[in-house]
Amino acid sequence: MSKIALVTDSTCSVPRELVEKYEIIVAPQILIWGQESLEDGVDIMPTEFYKRLAKDSVMPSTSQVTVSKFFEIYQRLLDQDYQIMTIVLSSKLSGTLNSAIQAKSMLPAEAPIEIVDSNTTAMAMGFHLLTVARAIKQGASLPECVALAQKASGQTGVFFAVDTLEFLHRGGRIGGASRFLGTVLNFKPILELRDGKVEAVERVRTRRKSLSRIVELAIEQIGGRTPVRLASLHANAPEDAQIVLNEATEKLNPIETYLSEVSPVIGANAGPGVIGLVYMAGM
C-alpha cells in the first residue's frame, strides 16, 4: 500500500495531539513584527502573541508560507516514497495555495502531489484535514483523499463575531464585511467565511447576543443534517468560546467537539476577541 503524507499550513488550528496522532505536516505561515520574521506556531505561540500585541506599539503583518518551505517538505517526503496530499487555506485569503503550486512545479511532473484549496481556514479546514487523515489510516488512495477533501468543503461553514473590523480592514481581508465599516460603535458585526471570503451577515447590539446569534446561524445552515462536528474558535477569549461551544453542543448533539485557539497569523488579521463557530455536517 502506498504511503500518503498529509500537508497543511499553520492556520489549520487542529489540536496538537491530533496533528501528532495523524502525523500531519504543518507548514508555518510567517508573522512579520518590526524587523522580526517569525514562523507561526514555531517561533511564536498564541499566548505569547496576544501578550505582545497588547503592549507593542508596532503592529504585526503576515506573509504566506514560502515556496522554499513547501519545496523542502515535498522533497523530503518524496525521498521517503510518500505520495502527498496538501490542503491549505482559502486562496482568496492568502497566496499560500500559489506557494504550494510553485513548489510542486519545481519537482518532476510525475511527482504524486495533490493540492486542494480548502476554501476556508482554521478548524473548518481542520475538519477537512481530520476527515482525510482518518481515511488515510483506513487505506484510502490519493484520488479518494482529494474527493473527500472536496466533499468536506461543501459540508463545512464558519460564523464569527468580532469586536472591531480594524484588523480585517488593515490586513486587506475584510471582503464583503466592508459595508459594516463606519457603523455605530455599539453594534457587533457577525461575519461568515463564505466561498472562501469574509462576508457580512448582520449586526447585533451586544457581545452576548453576537455569541448566541452565531449558534443560531450555524443551526440554520446545518438544517438537520447529521452527523455534526463542532469547533469553537477564539483569539484570546477562551471563556466566551466555551460559552458558544456549550450552547451549540446542547442544541446540536455533535459527535465531535473542539475548543480551538486560532494561530497568531489569524489573530493578527482578525484581531483579539474574535469568537467563531465552525461546523461540519452530513459526513
Mean pLDDT to the nearest integer, 228-232: 98
Is it true that domain 156-281 has CATH number 3.40.50.880? no
DSSP SS3 for 125: helix
* pLDDT tens by residue, 42-60: 999 988 988 888 788 888 8
Largest Cα–Cα distance in the chain? 59
Mean pLDDT to the nearest integer, 149-161: 95
Domain boundaries, the chain: 3-29+64-153, 156-281
Please name the residues in contact with 224: beta carbons below 8 A apart, sequence gap of 6 or more: none
Q: What is the C-alpha separation between 189 and 124, in angstroms, rounded?
A: 20
Q: What is the pLDDT of residue 47?
A: 86
Asked whether the predicted pLDDT for residue 238 surpasses 70, the reply is yes
Residue 182 dihedral angles phi and psi, to the nearest 5°: 80, 10
* pLDDT tens by residue, 116-134: 999 999 999 999 999 999 9
Q: Tell me the pLDDT band of 169, cut-offs 50, 70 and 90.
A: very low
Q: Tell me the pLDDT band of 188, cut-offs 50, 70 and 90.
A: confident
* pLDDT tens by residue, 60-87: 889 999 999 999 999 999 999 999 999 9
Of the chain, the percentage scoring pLDDT greater than 70 comes to 91
Q: Residue 176 carries which DSSP code?
A: G
Determine if the pTM surpasses 0.85: yes
Question: Which candidate, 160, 123, 165, places its Cα nearest to that of 263?
Answer: 123
Q: Tell me the pLDDT band of 277, cut-offs 50, 70 and 90.
A: very high
- Contact predicate 191/159, CB 8 Å: yes
- Contact predicate 268/238, CB 8 Å: no
The dotted CATH code for 3-29+64-153 is: 3.40.50.10170
Q: Round the average pLDDT of the chain to a whole number and report it.
A: 90
